[in-house]
Amino acid sequence: MAKAEILIVEDHPTMREAMRLILEHEGFEIREAIDAAQALSMAKERPPDLMFLDLNIPGASGTDVLTTLKSDPRTQGVRVVVVTAEGEEIRDYVMSLGADEYFTKPFSPTALLRTVENVLADPAEPTPAGS
């Protein structure tokens, strides 16, 4: 069975590399973006199965990227896992914008893989475009 394609949107090189190494080791195809513009361009060009989206990235905020993805018919079905060091304070807000999961840094490799498996196992339900 082919493994999913994952787009990691993270501006911190060490964090991006750690995520990539963990996921590649499990056979996932990985693409990487370092800012909002690159993330949106890559997602529209070839929508990934799943996106790890850091909230604090250069350019537009991660929440703006999430809103744009979920309002575009080409990308609204992309599963999005928000990754942040913010803690639990904004979990409800990003989930209301269409995130599939909320994941806090730092994290263990096991937790990262469990999150991927859980999100990809859920049946896809396109999020309706918000107002």
19 φ/ψ angles, rounded to the nearest 5 degrees: -65, -45
**30 in Cβ contact with 6 (< 8 Å):** yes
The model's pTM: 0.90
Count of beta carbons in the 10 Å neighbourhood of residue 125: 8
Give pLDDT tens digits along the chain (131 positions): 468 999 999 999 999 999 999 999 999 999 999 999 999 999 999 999 999 999 999 999 999 999 999 999 999 999 999 998 888 889 999 999 999 999 998 889 999 999 999 999 987 554 443 33
d(CA 36, CA 10): 9
pLDDT value for 63: 95
Alpha-carbon distances of 42 from 34, 69, 78, 122, rounded to whole Å: 11, 11, 12, 24
pLDDT digits (tens, 9 = 90+) for 56-90: 999 999 999 999 999 999 999 999 999 988 888 89
Q: How far apart are the first and last CA of the chain?
A: 38
Start-end of H helices in the chain: 13-25, 36-45, 62-71, 91-96, 109-121
* Domains of the chain, each with CATH number or no CATH: 5-89+109-121 (3.40.50.2300)
Which of 52, 57, 67 lies closest to 113, judged by CA? 52
